[in-house]
Chains A and B, each alone.
Chain A
């Protein structure tokens, strides 16, 4: 039988247009939700990656080999000689930038009370490649090397009622396992994208941190950024080997992805969301299954006639499958476009999680800006069409099994 099945299937959509549209909308809502969810997840993942690399670990982090084992004891004496290590790793192939830091627990002594914070000693000059400090400073300026000055997170300053020009005494444990205190003047208040940093971190010049912590010439960690085209894990391995060969220094040198369990969890979560997305589409597809089944029962007389005229069972299946697929394409296209529009709007206004994230120690920015990703859009579009079309296969196959004599009874 020569019949243009796609044309017939397409025409059939309009025979009960409202019902076809209902099926399409169910697919569209699923596609739109998954599109928005994946874009948000993508934004979280890339935001976390940026924050981890900038504020926490660099792309490669070098520490004393035993530091992690004793980390809970704040073993600042397990340090690196920056004059020895830094020049060597800077010259290593694949290393684009390097900086050194000291993280230390700090008690801010105010009005007779100690307030817990996290101090970070940094070289503001070499940090340029890692943290864009000038753009983060909300008030004041960056501390200068050699001065007892600090840059403080905006939330921490607000919570402790501190302002520019105030002096704060910082009490801490030293690398010699004693205690020491030093008074710093607040010269800058910074607004960091990560809520945790905003609420607890203060930055001081590296040389003053070394003096306070009795770590002359020593740093807790050296962070690296890699050149384009180089894999972080390969650079980490080559740097570790270099330090071992040249300085007989055993270090814990790792790529950032190997250091952050949360990031790995997010990658696992992404896979789970893809599975959830498939379930979402299947739920949306129940409407299209229902529609196809109803269409088959309604057109029983027509199926019988087509069969009597010589149409094969496979062709009947294809006819209904095509009809379902056309509805899926329409639904998926509408949903993906709607999802793109939502993501585009969110990329401009942002999603503010400041309240929700307060008190949560996660390296994700308080305001997320999901980005329009056409690869995700294409993926969701195809994904929705395939799952919804395959769903219509179940009732469509039924059409091929209908006996012509049985169908003609409806005449």
Chain B
């Protein structure tokens, strides 16, 4: 091979390799992008939670409002739990029951209780989208999940107050959607598995429209959370995430 040809090949190889080094994302950047993609200024959605367990199948429907990374309000619309609400603000989580004269504030271990007997906990339903505040991230590599090229990341909790001490997540390299997640204890005991079954495009972002969650602590139990409609960046009342509004 002549010298100029070798030079050309070397130059081309360098040109191919250098950008990948220059533009490779760190684990933190992937998580940041992931949170950004899942967060809207405001959103209003409707959906359902279908739970199957040893006793059969149960479907509950809800309407949810969210603002930024921290504030969310869920109101159940199905007959069995009509009018029940869950409010999450930056610091607290409150439950409203139509027949109770006071709000119930959940804290500590109570946040890990199941919502309506499903595989979802109150924390899962209303989780804050600022993952890096609570976890350190290690980018493990890449894997193909359901035909999507994904970053594989391991998140380890910085504080003991989080629901899942260790999370392993598969984040789409293109859309930053979490296709799959495994939630474990610090001793690597698997607690829950989440999998996105279908997606929806909203405001140029890809979001999960159907998600399956399995609580590995329960036998023969699985929950499907389906989003029927989602509107983003819609104007919301100023006090929609206040306690006054919750009891109104």
Contacts and interface: CB of A to CB of B under 8 A. Distances in A.
Interface string B10-45: 000000000000000000000000000000000000
Contact of A176 (B53, B80, B95, B102): B80
B97 A181 contact: yes
Given A181-B97, A181-B104, 9 more contacts: A73-B55, A77-B55, A109-B102, A169-B100, A169-B101, A178-B116, A180-B81, A183-B99, A183-B100
B117 interface: yes
Interface residues of A, number: 24
A181 B117 contact: no
A171 B104 contact: yes
B101 A177 contact: no
A87 interface: no
Interface in B40-94: 51, 53-55, 58, 60, 80-81, 84
B105 interface: yes
* Residue of A109, A176, A178, A211 with highest tally of chain B CB at under 10 A: A178
Contacts of B102: 109, 169, 183
B100 A75 contact: no
B80 A178 contact: yes
B142 interface: no
A179 B99 CA distance: 12
Contacts of A77: 55
A75 B55 contact: yes
B107 interface: yes
Interface of B: 51, 53-55, 58, 60, 80-81, 84, 95, 97, 99-102, 104-105, 107, 110, 116-117
Contacts of A177: 51, 53, 55, 58, 116-117
Contacts of A178: 58, 60, 80-81, 84, 116-117
Contacts of A183: 99-102
Contacts of B101: 167, 169, 183
Interface string A79-122: 00000000000000000000000000000010010100000000
A211 B99 CA distance: 10
A226 interface: no
A173 interface: yes
Contact of B95 (A148, A181, A212, A214): A181
Contacts of A211: 99
A328 interface: no
Contact of B99 (A70, A112, A180): A180
A169 to B, nearest CB: 5
A136 interface: no
Given A75-B55, A173-B117, A176-B58, A182 B99 contact: yes
A169 B104 contact: yes
Contacts of B53: 177
B104 A174 contact: no
Nearest to B81: A178
A180 B97 contact: yes
Nearest to B96: A181
Contacts of B99: 148, 180-183, 211-212
30 contacts: A70-B54, A70-B55, A77-B55, A109-B100, A112-B107, A169-B100, A169-B101, A169-B102, A169-B104, A171-B104, A173-B117, A177-B51, A177-B53, A177-B116, A178-B58, A178-B80, A178-B116, A178-B117, A179-B81, A180-B84, A180-B97, A181-B100, A181-B104, A182-B97, A183-B99, A183-B101, A183-B102, A211-B99, A212-B99, A214-B80
A110 to B, nearest CB: 10
Contacts of A112: 105, 107
A173 B95 CA distance: 14
